[in-house]
Structure 1
Amino acid sequence: MSEFARRFIGPIVTVCGLLIVVVNITIASAAPPVAVAPAASAAAMPVLAPSVVVILNSRDATISLIDENTYKEIGSFPVGKEPHHLMPTPDNKSLIVAAATGNELYFLDPKTGKIQSQVKDIADPYQIGFSPNQKWFIANGLRLDRIDIYGFDGKALKLAKRLPLPKMPSHMTFSADSTLAFITLQGTDEIAAVDLATQTVKWVMPIGKQPAGIYMTPDNKYLLVGVMGSDYVAVVDWRTQKIIKKIKTGDGAHNFRPQGDQRHVFVSNRVAGTINILDLNTLENIGVINVPGGPDCMEVTADGKTMWVTQRWVKQVSVVDIATRKVIKTIPVGRSPHGIYFTNRASEL
């Protein structure tokens, strides 16, 4: 278990139970400091051997474990209710799984998929994320119309504010300097910019019907927003709050995953059953991959050659050869597969 996970399940479990009622309560300062290693930079990340693929089946409330080499299921187990999204801890020694309606987080060993620990009384953690400088951690409460902002000092999390947002805060990304968090609001067709230092909404702007995934370009210049209720990605100059371009993709433009080369990013189109390849230099759609059945979350191997895709509507995961843009393998999993992760992964830039 990582030091981060140990620290989280010590004071945070108790405190979060109280924070549901008493927001201003803080973590006791008497606890001894615990060091947490920072996340490795993209250049320093080792290229790992093929590993266990972790897949969240949101409708079944289970996790499927797939061997990346053989494409065979090597395990499955129950986990909370509606596990949707997941991410590694800053020290890369644990994988956090957010069980939304279960109101809890699970910490897994990212190499084996085995449960390390469980944290209860975390209200509706639909989407989760750390700021680039790792000083902030956010949990989006889609059902509760709010986000919970935690400060992270490298040792422990402390709730800074529960911030109401109208309505259905979904996905998130951050500015490169970690001053702003950008949240898509599916219920009001907007995106919000949240000032992390003051924990206040800096601005809100209309973006299009049912925005979902949101991604900051590597140059920190534009936001890309998947407009799920339509068929395009909105390119936003976030400093002026203006949409400068709409990149036509496919119906149900939903989520993003960079290839890891700082040049290309993939966007899944759930309704169209396709994935588009966007050129980040030209902001153009340069290709399409057919992945029917509600493609959603994507994971890319460290060499940038293979992509795994969850398919929400057909209980399966597809493996795509990126060079040929063809599905080379389909793997049955549980109902409504959503989040996906493996350690042999490309950079998220």
Structure 2
Amino acid sequence: MRKLFLPGLTATFAAGAALVAAAGFFSPAAHANNVIVLNSGEATLSLIDEATRQVVATVPTGKEPHHLMVTPDNSSLIVANSVSNNLMFVDPKSGKVQRWVENIEDPYQVGFSPDRKWLVTTGLRLDRLDIYHYDAQNNMTLASRLPLAVMPSHMAFTNDSKTVFVTLQVSGELAAIDLATQTVKWKMKVGKVPAGLWMTPGEKYLLVGMTGADYVAVIDWRNQKIVKTIQTGKGAHNFRSLADGKHVAVSNRVASTISIIDEDTLTNVGDITGLLPGPDDMELSADKRYLWVTFRFAKHIGVIDLTTRKLIQTISVGRSPHGIYFFDRAPVTAPNGA
């Protein structure tokens, strides 16, 4: 097993620091609630003041930053740079670069198991799942590299941290991985280009967004059966729970809509329309009144009023905005989007 220590300042960090200084980087105390958006098409992150909804800084990242994840102690936000083969740790409050971890190959998506013992990365380009032991000092030890074809992307964990589910976009499968043994327990066909995953209350069903179709598949994962499909819109992609704990939003990347699914009845109870092209990852505002969404094909993010279910504002960011994170949210371990 290989131990990966978090290095200190690097040339990349120095370049980033110079750019941030030139942009007039602000004191973290001046902007208590910030939003971080990854611009995967131009290797930057945009830092947005939630209150004013203005971009206040642009920070360079590695190549193709797609997804992000806060560390279990909430001290760092991990930006996964898939093409640069590294992880960038930033201050979740200010967006300032803290350190880099190199030689993390093709980290497309990242996620922590609920017990905080495992860090999992999906290698979309390399058809592989990497599993790391993770400790309280933020050290990572590579435990296993598991071949997993074709194009593993999104993941979800069981609450007991025994299993991580991974969608395989090209083969159209869902895989269940035993974390203790780092082995594939099973695979099942679920549909065309499966992407985002969401566990319903009580871990009864696993929802899978079908980006190659126009529905969400409802999986009885214990018996490896599709029990229902929920019509949404073309390109059903990713999920975000709403404040009431009873509904989950799913972004329809091709239809450019967001559907609201009732988690009890497993039905689509309404669509949010009038959006920009390519809605993808989503996050809730601190007061839970607004849903922020990245538009992959529009170089903008949007703010949706959940009372009226209308897009009320767009904010210009970088090319191909993807992952989004709110500083004022409590620490989480599961991926928030993909």
**TM class by smaller structure:** 0.7 to 0.9
Deviation at residue 310 of structure 1 after TM alignment: 0.3
Partner of 2:285: 301
CA-to-partner distance for each residue in 1:305-340, whole Å, 9 max, x for gaps?
111100000100000111110111101111000000
Contact residue 207 and residue 234 of structure 1 kept, 8 A: yes
Which secondary structure does the structure 2 equivalent of 1:219 belong to?
helix
Contact residue 213 and residue 236 of structure 2 kept, 8 A: yes
Q: State the one-letter code of the partner of 1:112.
A: S
Q: Which shifted more, 123-132 or 209-218?
A: 209-218
Contact residue 32 and residue 93 of structure 2 kept, 8 A: no
CA-to-partner distance for each residue in 1:261-300, whole Å, 9 max, x for gaps?
3211110000000001111111111111122310000011
Partner of 2:305: 321
Aligned CA distance change for structure 1 residues 347 and 249 (closer, same or farther; 3 Å): farther
Match of residue 183, structure 2, among 191, 194, 200: 200
Q: Say whether 1:149 aligns with 2:131.
A: yes
**Identity, % of aligned pairs?**
58
Partner of 2:316: 332
Partner of 2:252: 269
Partner of 1:88: 70
Alignment RMSD (CA, Å): 1.8
Q: State the one-letter code of the partner of 2:214.
A: D
Partner of 1:310: 294
CA-to-partner distance for each residue in 1:126-176, whole Å, 9 max, x for gaps?
000001111111010000000101122434321110000011000000111
Contact residue 50 and residue 69 of structure 1 kept, 8 A: no
Aligned 1:275-290 pairs, distance under 5 A: 275-290=258-273
Alignment TM-score, normalising by the size of structure 2? 0.87
Q: Say whether 1:79 aligns with 2:61.
A: yes
Contact residue 151 and residue 158 of structure 1 kept, 8 A: yes
* Residues in 1 aligned to 2:331 and 2:125: alpha-carbon distance in whole angstroms: 30
Q: State the one-letter code of the partner of 1:275.
A: I
* Residues in 2 aligned to 1:119 and 1:182: alpha-carbon distance in whole angstroms: 25
Contact residue 7 and residue 99 of structure 2 kept, 8 A: no
Aligned 1:1-349 pairs, distance under 5 A: 8-9=5-6, 51-155=33-137, 156-290=139-273, 291-345=275-329
Deviation at residue 8 of structure 1 after TM alignment: 4.3
Which secondary structure does the structure 1 equivalent of 2:202 belong to?
coil
Deviation at residue 197 of structure 1 after TM alignment: 0.8
Which secondary structure does the structure 2 equivalent of 1:9 belong to?
coil
Deviation at residue 302 of structure 1 after TM alignment: 3.3
Give aligned pairs, total: 307
Contact residue 277 and residue 286 of structure 1 kept, 8 A: yes
Q: State the one-letter code of the partner of 1:337.
A: P
Deviation at residue 303 of structure 1 after TM alignment: 3.0
Q: Which runs of 5+ in 2 are unaligned?
A: 11-30
Which secondary structure does the structure 1 equivalent of 2:216 belong to?
strand
Deviation at residue 84 of structure 1 after TM alignment: 0.1
Partner of 2:26: none
* Residues in 2 aligned to 1:160 and 1:71: alpha-carbon distance in whole angstroms: 41
* Residues in 2 aligned to 1:153 and 1:73: alpha-carbon distance in whole angstroms: 34
Aligned CA distance change for structure 1 residues 325 and 347 (closer, same or farther; 3 Å): farther
* Residues in 1 aligned to 2:103 and 2:140: alpha-carbon distance in whole angstroms: 14
* Residues in 1 aligned to 2:141 and 2:331: alpha-carbon distance in whole angstroms: 28
Deviation at residue 56 of structure 1 after TM alignment: 0.4
* Residues in 1 aligned to 2:215 and 2:276: alpha-carbon distance in whole angstroms: 18
Q: Which has the higher contact order (CA 8 A, sep 6+)?
A: 2
Segments of 4+ moved more than 4 angstroms = 346-349
Q: State the one-letter code of the partner of 1:213.
A: G
Which secondary structure does the structure 1 equivalent of 2:180 belong to?
coil
Deviation at residue 50 of structure 1 after TM alignment: 6.0
Contact residue 7 and residue 100 of structure 2 kept, 8 A: no
Q: Which runs of 5+ in 1 are unaligned?
A: 1-6, 14-48
Q: State the one-letter code of the partner of 1:99.
A: N
Aligned CA distance change for structure 1 residues 181 and 247 (closer, same or farther; 3 Å): same
* Residues in 2 aligned to 1:237 and 1:346: alpha-carbon distance in whole angstroms: 29
Contact residue 214 and residue 225 of structure 1 kept, 8 A: yes
Contact residue 260 and residue 347 of structure 1 kept, 8 A: no
Which secondary structure does the structure 2 equivalent of 1:161 belong to?
strand
